[in-house]
Amino acid sequence: MTFTKKSTSTLIASSLLFLLGSAPRGVMSAVPADEGDGQLPPQPPTVTIDMSLAPEEHFKPAVRAVLKEHAYEDSFEPLFREFNASVFGKEKLQDKDYDTLADAADKFYPMQARELRGISEEFAAQGHYVSYPYLSAWMYAIEMEHIEYPDFAGPSASATTAEDNNECTALLVADSEGNVVQGRNMDRPPVYTPYARPVTLNFDVINNSNGVPDFKASGFYWIAASFVTINIPGHLSMQANYRYYPTYRDTPTKQDIFEYIEEGRVPALQTYGDMIFKHGIIDIEPAVEFLSKCPMGVPAYLSMAGAGDKFQAAVVSRDEDGLAVDQNGVKHEPLYLNNQSGDYSEANN
């Protein structure tokens, strides 16, 4: 993860492209980018999530929005099937594992657990069985992926080529006036990436509590009651990205990951949700402080752009217990764009 001097920038995504504006008038969109002629198709539907409703009701409109556009057999079913084969299946998740993940969600994330139950209820109302324990496993999907995809083209049985380990990328671009735009793509392991596209939605999240204003979000991890791409206009845009285990350290086992989960460490998919909904943090300085310290189960890159001073953007490189530590024992302090000079872009992964 580096800052690199550039004068211009082009974003090309092989799967999902998300654009965020960090200026006060910021706009945001999630657009599937197909390979081929380079033309972007229309944006996915925008769904309103009303946080004043009971948690079970929050994401039911999202299920309905996808099924209005795509048959279950062309959207959720192949996504679940391929994810089961590539991640949950490879890790041989048993019923007891799903129960452990469901219990952890109930204990540490009760609101999200209720949201997941609501998603399960809506699937049932539409004639499809998707259980709450299964959706709980999706909330810990990045932790499960780190067992299967621990390092870039590493020893994982399924990681036979570099393409097998494609992961999402963040990009922060600043012009000479200090205006910052945050972008990202959504490369994922190709076995299930194409099936995430029909499930991708834009969101207007309204009637929040804890002093949080209405905000926008994008992605397909709403099926895990989670957002990893968020724009709070006038405050903060943010994106979470996969970070492989460094080659100089041991890779945790499945048992290690489950122990972290049972400790109540923040799931990677819930990092921003925990920060926003539970702690009411919506500005860059407290966000950097919080995200540098919150206990996590896996490494991550957490990138943000603020709406205040010029060149206000930062990237936090995380290990499980705090800021990433290199092989010499040196911590990687948060990287601030406004500590650079000239026109810079930043990309991770």
DSSP state for residue 56 in the 8-state scheme: G
- The residue written with tokens 């950097």 in the block is 288
Q: What confidence score (pLDDT) does residue 172 get?
A: 79
Other C-beta atoms within 10 Å of 38: how many? Answer: 8
Q: Any bridge partners for residue 88, and if so which?
A: none
Residue 204 one-letter amino acid: D
User: Two tokens at 58?
Assistant: 């929050």
**pLDDT value at 19 more than 80:** no
State residue 289's pLDDT score: 98
46, 95, 262, 308 from 104: Cα distances, Å: 30, 14, 6, 37
The confidence score (pLDDT) of residue 61 equals 99
Residue 147 pLDDT? 80
Residues facing 228 on adjacent strands: none
Taking 50 as the threshold, does the pLDDT of residue 8 lie above it? Answer: no
Cα 117 from Cα 56, distance rounded (Å):
6
Whether 268 contacts 261, CB under 8 Å: no
Q: Is-contact 274 215, C-beta < 8 A?
A: no
Beta-carbon count within 10 A of 189 CB = 20
Is 317 in contact with 324 (CB distance < 8 Å)? yes
Instruction: Count the domains in the chain.
Output: 1
Distance CA 328, CA 74 (A): 49
Nearest to 317 by CA among 344, 287, 348, 345: 348
Domain region containing 272: 2-347
Beta strand pairing status for 180-185 and 201-206?
unpaired
Within 8 A by CB and 6+ apart from 39, the residues are none
pLDDT surpassing 60 at residue 94: yes
pLDDT score of 173 more than 50:
yes
Alpha-carbon gap, residue 193 to 16, rounded angstroms:
9
Q: What is the pLDDT of residue 152?
A: 54
Question: Residues 51, 225: contact at Cβ < 8 Å?
Answer: no
Closest CA to 76 of 114, 127, 32, 136: 127
Reply yes or no on whether the pLDDT at 17 is more than 60. no
Task: Give the rounded distance of the alpha carbon of 19 from its chain centre.
Answer: 14
Confidence of residue 345 (pLDDT cuts 50, 70, 90): low
- Separation between Cα atoms, residue 257 and residue 294, nearest integer Å: 16
* H helix or E strand, kind and range, residue 230: strand 229-232
Write b or e for each residue in 99-115: b if 16 or more Cβ atoms lie within 10 A of its Cβ, otherwise e: ebbbebbbebbeebbbb
Q: In this structure, what are the phi and psi dihedrals at residue 20, rounded to the nearest 5 degrees?
A: -125, 140
Question: Tokens 């009760």 label which residue?
Answer: 110
d(CA 320, CA 299): 6
Look at residue 93 and tell me whether its pLDDT is greater than 50.
yes
| φ/ψ (deg, to 5) at 19 | -120, 135
Helix (H, G, I), strand (E, B) or coil at 64: helix
Predicted pLDDT of residue 26? 40
Confidence class of residue 21 from pLDDT cuts 50, 70 and 90?
A: very low
d(CA 187, CA 35): 12
